[in-house]
Every structure is written in structure tokens, then in C-alpha cells.
Amino acid sequence: MSADLTNLLDGYLVSGEGLVVDNPATSKPLATVRDYSTGEVTECVEAAAAAFPAWSQKTAKERSVILRHWFELMLAHQEELAQLITAECGKPIAESRGEVAYGASFLEWFAEEAKRAYGDVVPTHKANARIIVLKQPIGVVSAITPWNFPVAMITRKAAPALAAGCPMIVKPAEATPLSALALEKLAREAGIPEGVFKIVTTRNPAEIGKVLTTHPDIKKISFTGSTAVGKILMRQAADTVKKASMELGGNAPFIVFDDADLDAALDGAMASKYRNAGQTCVCANRFYVQSGIHDAFVEQFSARVAALSVGDGAVEGIQVGPLINAAAIDKVEQLVDGATTAGAEAIVGGNRSDLGGDLGDNFYQPTVLAGAQADMAIAHAEIFGPVAPVFKFETEEDVIKLANDTPYGLAAYFYARDLGRVWRVSEALEYGMVGVNEGILSTEVAPFGGVKESGIGREGSRYGLEEYLEIKYCLMGGLST
């Protein structure tokens, strides 16, 4: 790593035993960081509980000023943070720069929202009493975050927690601890005490996760990751009745109706599907294209996909980087092979990329599959790779049934110009977020989250602050009238 990156991680890199971080583009080790034990994480929880009174008793404006400083430091170190993201998770450097800006936006937003945790005075039910509703910080919070957005998924949780007055302990993904530790370093510079925001890195995520879901001093768990793991964490948290926010798996449909603006739909499809090599929880997973526009869409979509540049994300201009590891490549390969064996046709791609040189084996060709059918495994699995299966449909009623035929309900997208259809489809889709004539919907000002088995709770927007606040009802009696 460069000197600038090493400086940003000063005090966090270790020699000898620890958690080894690999570069997915080269499959070579980048660095080694501390491997926290369960006992050490328990001590971090106790430190957070001790720090809670002082942090929660700061005025909202005092917390706001500190969060704003953290935001400014993130932007000042945008390039170094972006290089760390690309090095450890593989996404193209332009996308990594965008992630840093997106992640920082949550610090800016919740620095402002900290001052807006309003309560209420409720009209009373009797003359000599008043009803007051207070909103107070829930307490110490734990968070477990994924590798695909190693900065933004931390700030999207930590910003509202700290704004509300809650200390937070974060376990980042084992694949991407470096950018998380860099965030912690910047947090210290901003004036956030160690007990208030702490990153714990580990080679034993199941053991550490159990501490973070069962310790009685932790009052809430926030998790982004797979539905299967989310269910485990919820079970573990149940014994102490912790509040839980879960942003889980997705199976996003991308629907193109005959009346759509084709060029706009193609732009949205490219942005939604191939960002981070298809490794996002809200990326388009199934493409449903109405029969009247199907052939033109497939032809033009395939031409755009064939033109994508694949390689090491650290190289300027690369559009599709590596998948995170060998297991991810194997999963994508099995899904594509299963679909083509069952009758789908790979119009573009369909195989691993063999780029040679110093690059490793974690690259997969950007792929478009035509002739996909609802009974194929690829129609029901979260692909998490640069593969777009295209399904042909006939009627609005048909595609709504197909789109909703999944236990997941995170994000959905559709393109249409008929105003009646826009309203009907928006309301009929069983998803927490719907992009209408838009392929990217994430922003700090809107509530992010899913329904069904895609999660509980919302992140971002004014609703995100509510997740870290408890409502207290106070009845003040004995008042003279």
C-alpha cells in the first residue's frame, strides 16, 4: 500500500497473527489487522456502556458539530478512502469515490437531524394533567456490516446512532476491515471518543456476532447482510428483546413495459445491474421485458454490456472489477450454467474472465441471458454478480405476479410512461423501495429498507433517526387548572 494509505491506518496494522486482508483483483494479501477475541469485544461493550451517559447528555448541537467535523474529514480524505475500498473489495475506483461521498452524506444529514428529535405535547384527557412524549436514545448499539459497501454501510448506521446519543460498536466484514478502521481513525480526529464509536475486526464472525446480539448492555442490533444470517442474529437477540434493524437479501425485478423510453430504460439497466460487478443488495436481479419491446431491448442491452471494460478496479476507466472471492465466482458460474443447460442463451459473456497478468481468478464476464424462465434457479437466487437474465412477459398482470413471486421485497424498478400504469404498478409491487423510470434510488434523504424477508426498519432520512430513539410517555398530573 502507498504511504498515504498506511498513514490512514497508522496504529491498526499488525505483523504476525491476525486477520489477513486480500486484494480480490490479485488474490494477494494487502495487510493484517487485529483479531479481536470475544473477551476483548465484551470489554468494548462495557466501555460503550460507560461512555453512554456522557455522550447522550451532550446537547444535540454538540453532537451535530462533531458529526459535521467527521463528514469534513471524510471528504478531505476521499481519495485515500476510495483507494482502500477498491483495494479490499475490488470495485472500480470511480465507484469507490462515489461511495465515500455517499457515505459522508449520512454524517452530514444526521448532523443536521440530531437537532430534530422532536417529542410531542398530546392533548390531554383530563384538565389537571398534561401528556408529554419524549424521545430518548436507546442505548449502546451494535452493528454488523457487509463488504460490498464497506464505508457507506457503516456511516448509514453510525451517523443516526451517534446523532441520537447512542454509542456504537461495529463489526465490519472480514474481507473489508481496512476502510472501516480508517473511518474510526477519522472519527477520533473529529472528537468521537473510543467508547462511543469502536470498530472490532475478527476472524471469528459467528462468535463475535453472538456477543453483539446477546450482551445485555447492548439495546439494539443493526445488520446488513444475507437473510439467512439475519434470521440467526434475530434469534440470538430475542432472549434480551433487543430492538433490531435488518437490511437483508434482495431479488430485485427490473420491468420494462412496451411504452417505456427505451434509451432511459437501457441507461437504468446498466447503472442498476453492473455497478460493483452486480454485487449490491438493490441491483437488478431479474429483467422482465414486455414482448413488444423485448427484442430491441435485448439487442441494445447486449451491445452495451459487451462494451464494458473488465479488470483491476484500481485502473482508471475500468467499469467491472472482480467478484469478492472464489466462492462468489463459483456461485455465479453455477447459476449461469444451470440456466443455459435449461435453455437460456448467453447473448454476451457466460463464462469466467481470463485476464492473465498479475490478476487473479475472481473475474466473471459481464453477461446477458436471453430466454430465462421462471422455473430456473437464477430466477429465485440473489445472483451477486454481473449477470442479467432477461424474461419476456405479455401483460401487466402477469409481470406483477412474477415480480412478487419471491420471499424478498427490498427494491424493484420499472419503466413506463402511462400515468395510470405508473400508479398501479408502484402500489402493486411488494417492495420497500420502487424506482420508477430510475435505476439508482439510494440517497441519504430517503428511507432505505425492505419488506417481507428483506428486512425490518429503515435507514437514512428522518425515519432513520427514529430507529435509535425510544418513546417515553410522561403523564404530569396534579396541575392546577
Q: 44, 89, 166, 281: which one is catalytic?
A: 281
> How many beta carbons lie within 10 A of that of residue 478, not counting itself?
6
Query: Helix 152-164 crosses helix 60-76 at what angle (to 10 degrees)?
Result: 160
| Distance in angstroms (rounded) separating the CA atoms of residues 106 and 153 | 10
Q: Among this protein's residues, is 281 annotated catalytic?
A: yes
Sequence-ordered alpha helix ranges (H) in 17-151: 38-57, 60-76, 78-89, 93-113
Which residues does residue 370 pair with via DSSP β-bridges, in sequence order? 345
DSSP state of 278: G
Residues 6 or more apart whose Cβ sits within 8 Å of residue 341: none
On whether the CB atoms of residues 290 and 265 are closer than 8 A, the answer is no
The SS3 of residue 267 is helix
Verify whether residue 166 is a known catalytic residue. no
Among 88, 95, 184, 247, the active-site one is: 247
Cβ-based neighbour number of residue 295 at 10 Å? 12
- Cell 452493528, residue located: 143
State the Cα–Cα distance between residues 321 and 455, nearest whole angstrom.
Answer: 28
Sheet of 120-122, strand order:
120-122, 130-137, 469-476
Catalytic residues: 247, 281
